Structure 1
Amino acid sequence: MVTIKEIASAVGVSSATVSRVLNYDPTLSISTKKRQAIIETAEALNYATPRNRSRAAAQAGGAGLKIALVHFLDPAQELADPYYVGVRLGIESRCQALKSEVVKVFLTGSSPEAAMLEGASGVVAVGHYYGDELEWLRRHSRHLVFADYAPAGDADDAVLSDVSLAMTRLLEAVHGMGYRRIGFIGWIDAFYGPDNIHSERRCRAYIDWMSKAGFYDPELCMVERMTPDSGYTLTKAMLSKPNPPRIVITCNDNMALGAYRAIHELGLSIPGDVAVASFNDIPVAQFLGPPLTTVKIPAELIGETAVDLLLERLSGREVAKKVVLGTEIVWRGSTPQTETTAGVEATAPGAL
């Protein structure tokens, strides 16, 4: 194995300098040319940095591990939400590649036997956890990573996408296309209760942005406890109001499916009478009529990354890490980006 001393001799610097460069020490004062020479020499000699050795060890150490996948939805609920199916598949495929065993635990109402978690090398918790459930997970997990959720504070490993930022970007985009009457359909975050019904991140971002832009109308922000028919009932109620929105943004694609049904039942067209945009980009979104505009959240990558964070913990990382994955707006036929929108705005100022 090539040593730091050999690299230092080849470049003409001290072993300490080589070590600090290869470990990405930001406080080291060294010329760019010398830094590049050290890195290129290390690569030429196939030297593995401590960071890379730890990563390789973690990858190799995945074989034989037992990982508990704790889900906040029961199997039937998960099956109804393809997004969370994607997160789980990401976890399972990553574990399969690492030859790790996956044990599924469903934390839906009553806590399972603590031994199921304590006997695992680590736990990946999918979904949102609060209060007693959160503390139960922390208490009984050797190592714990949250997928698609980050508890308050900085004590836990987590991987998720920033849906608040994604909502802001989506609102800025549709505003730029001429829309002003923008409705939002969402759900009430169970943790915050009836006194704070607008606490869900997408809802909060919607209210903040619309208020700052001077377009917020409480009549166009409707939320309720999540049910399979929430998208349908809320959209139908909103579009039955005297001054309905010209575009409806739903909290996820499942709600958008209900919105489509309500719009069609009211005898309206998409996007001619009302446009629709959403979140998640589940597989069916592209096959709707018209195909659904939606913010793509990388569900499977969230699951894969959660397993990688767990492996890092098992290989010795002590500082908690939160990974935020990017999102992408996938524009489709439910939200026109053509001159048609501009034409409506020109003939009826403020109508959108």
Structure 2
Amino acid sequence: MATIKDLAKLSKVSAATVSRVLNGDETITVQDQTRQRIYQAAKELGYKTIHERRNQQQTSKSKKNPAIGVVLFLSNEEELSDPYFLAIRQGIEEELIKQGISTTTMIRLYDKVDHQKVQELDGMIIVGRINGEALKKISGHIKNIVYINHSPDEDIYDSVVVDFQKATEKALQHMLKAGYKRIGYIGGVEREHLKERTIIGEDQRITTYEKVMKSEGLYEPSYVFIGEYTMMQGYELMKKALKQNDVPEAFFIASDPMAIGALRALQEFGISVPSDLAIVSFDDIEMAEFCSTPLTSVKVHTKEMGQTGVKLLLDRINGRELPLKVTVPTELVIRQSCGTNQ
């Protein structure tokens, strides 16, 4: 390995001059010709300064095992009752393990944030709708950020999303093709999470439902029931619907947990699915296949969303600057609850 003395001999200056030039000492005065001769000698002998060697080691370490933070807006208890977001996190963790990355920090929005750990992160994966204000308080200097299930600014951030509009249209067209006209809607609200509060965001499932049904001349406001995305709310909202004089002949339900709750309400009222009332839901979680009446549901590839988010983040850490938005396709899985095999 070349030394400062070797460089001094080749460039015909003192070792002190070589050291000061290569380490960027701005107080030293040397001719440009001499400075270039020192740089050329360093290049020929393959010499690297301590600063260059340290940067090289840090870059190598970063590429092999970067420190990743995963920001979640749900608490542990909330996540356990929400299979959709739980599956996304599991996909993230599986891909991190596959990539050999062990330095991962889980950050839950409403927990106390360890800012020292955050400062050491190379990148972040944000799961769900988290407001930029809240993100800034958490992330600080971090530039490598990937959103999953939300795309707040595709000109800045990478994101992995689902086309909720297209998926909802697919479900509704299936129901319309089957001959259903009085189609109701049961769903929750999309919330954008800040540090101290939440605000209501657009949910493309309800806006698409309204658009499609109005275009068919079939929209009826009294058929729409909105609560929270929980199993209990699906149960309560279906009971509310069944107490009306005019009950829809079919429902599009915006999540499988809500649909499972709705099935319980229908059972209590003695209403058979699909002969008395048909259901198409959303997510296709594992439980959907094993309900008392297996659910026809829009399948969202949640684990693949998590895995894709990790790959995008690693690509960004390794130098890509162009932000990418990946839309993961969905598919309608036909089972008994919709009353048709096609």
TM-score range, shorter chain: 0.7 to 0.9
* Aligned mate of 1:290, from 284, 290, 293: 293
The whole-number CA distance in structure 2 between the counterparts of 1:168 and 1:323 is 20
Aligned to 2:232: 229
Q: In the TM superposition, what are the counterparts of 1:333-348 in structure 2 within 5 Å? A: 333-337=336-340
Q: Flag the 1:267–1:204 CA change in 2: closer, same or farther, 3 A.
A: same
Q: In the TM superposition, what are the counterparts of 1:136-285 in structure 2 within 5 Å? A: 136-137=137-138, 139-191=140-192, 199-285=202-288
The whole-number CA distance in structure 2 between the counterparts of 1:247 and 1:104 is 44
The whole-number CA distance in structure 1 between the counterparts of 2:208 and 2:315 is 33
Deviation (angstroms), 1:140: 4.2
| Structure 1 segments unaligned to the other structure (5+ residues) | 1-57, 340-352
Aligned to 1:86: 87
**Is the Cα–Cα contact under 8 Å of residues 185 and 249 in structure 1 kept in the other structure?**
yes
* Aligned mate of 2:329, from 310, 326, 331: 326
The whole-number CA distance in structure 2 between the counterparts of 1:211 and 1:270 is 26
**Is the Cα–Cα contact under 8 Å of residues 197 and 223 in structure 1 kept in the other structure?**
no
The whole-number CA distance in structure 1 between the counterparts of 2:340 and 2:231 is 30
The whole-number CA distance in structure 1 between the counterparts of 2:154 and 2:112 is 24
Aligned to 2:33: none
Deviation (angstroms), 1:197: 7.1
* Aligned mate of 2:310, from 307, 310, 317: 307
| Structure 2 segments unaligned to the other structure (5+ residues) | 1-58, 194-198
Aligned to 1:317: 320
Q: CA RMSD, aligned part only?
A: 2.3
Aligned to 2:49: none
Deviation (angstroms), 1:191: 4.0
Deviation (angstroms), 1:142: 3.5
Deviation (angstroms), 1:232: 0.6
Q: Flag the 1:63–1:325 CA change in 2: closer, same or farther, 3 A.
A: same
Aligned to 1:125: 126
State the secondary structure of the residue aligned to 1:301: helix
State the secondary structure of the residue aligned to 1:183: strand
Deviation (angstroms), 1:108: 3.3
Moved more, 241-250 or 222-231: 222-231
The whole-number CA distance in structure 1 between the counterparts of 2:105 and 2:257 is 24
Q: Runs of at least 4 residues of structure 1 off by over 4 A?
A: none
The whole-number CA distance in structure 2 between the counterparts of 1:104 and 1:213 is 49
Deviation (angstroms), 1:186: 0.9
How many pairs align? 278
The whole-number CA distance in structure 1 between the counterparts of 2:163 and 2:176 is 20
Letter in 2 for 1:112: V
The whole-number CA distance in structure 1 between the counterparts of 2:201 and 2:109 is 24
**Is the Cα–Cα contact under 8 Å of residues 83 and 299 in structure 1 kept in the other structure?**
yes
Deviation (angstroms), 1:135: 3.4
The whole-number CA distance in structure 1 between the counterparts of 2:278 and 2:249 is 6
Q: Flag the 1:227–1:172 CA change in 2: closer, same or farther, 3 A.
A: closer
Deviation (angstroms), 1:83: 1.8
The whole-number CA distance in structure 1 between the counterparts of 2:186 and 2:87 is 23
The whole-number CA distance in structure 2 between the counterparts of 1:201 and 1:253 is 16
Q: Flag the 1:303–1:197 CA change in 2: closer, same or farther, 3 A.
A: closer
Letter in 2 for 1:89: Q
Deviation (angstroms), 1:94: 0.8
The whole-number CA distance in structure 1 between the counterparts of 2:294 and 2:224 is 24
Letter in 1 for 2:120: G
Deviations, residues 55-94 of structure 1 (Å, cap 9, x unaligned)? xxx9x97532221111111111111112222111111111
The whole-number CA distance in structure 1 between the counterparts of 2:259 and 2:281 is 6
Q: Flag the 1:226–1:285 CA change in 2: closer, same or farther, 3 A.
A: closer
Aligned to 2:106: 105
Deviation (angstroms), 1:203: 0.8
Give TM-score, length-normalised by structure 1.
0.74
The whole-number CA distance in structure 2 between the counterparts of 1:285 and 1:230 is 17
The whole-number CA distance in structure 2 between the counterparts of 1:117 and 1:336 is 51
The whole-number CA distance in structure 2 between the counterparts of 1:248 and 1:102 is 45
The whole-number CA distance in structure 1 between the counterparts of 2:204 and 2:115 is 31
The whole-number CA distance in structure 2 between the counterparts of 1:329 and 1:241 is 30
Give TM-score, length-normalised by structure 2.
0.76
**Is the Cα–Cα contact under 8 Å of residues 148 and 160 in structure 2 kept in the other structure?**
yes
Q: Flag the 1:311–1:182 CA change in 2: closer, same or farther, 3 A.
A: same
**Is the Cα–Cα contact under 8 Å of residues 73 and 106 in structure 1 kept in the other structure?**
no
**Is the Cα–Cα contact under 8 Å of residues 62 and 99 in structure 1 kept in the other structure?**
no
Larger radius of gyration: 2
State the secondary structure of the residue aligned to 1:100: coil
**Is the Cα–Cα contact under 8 Å of residues 187 and 254 in structure 2 kept in the other structure?**
yes
Deviation (angstroms), 1:113: 2.6
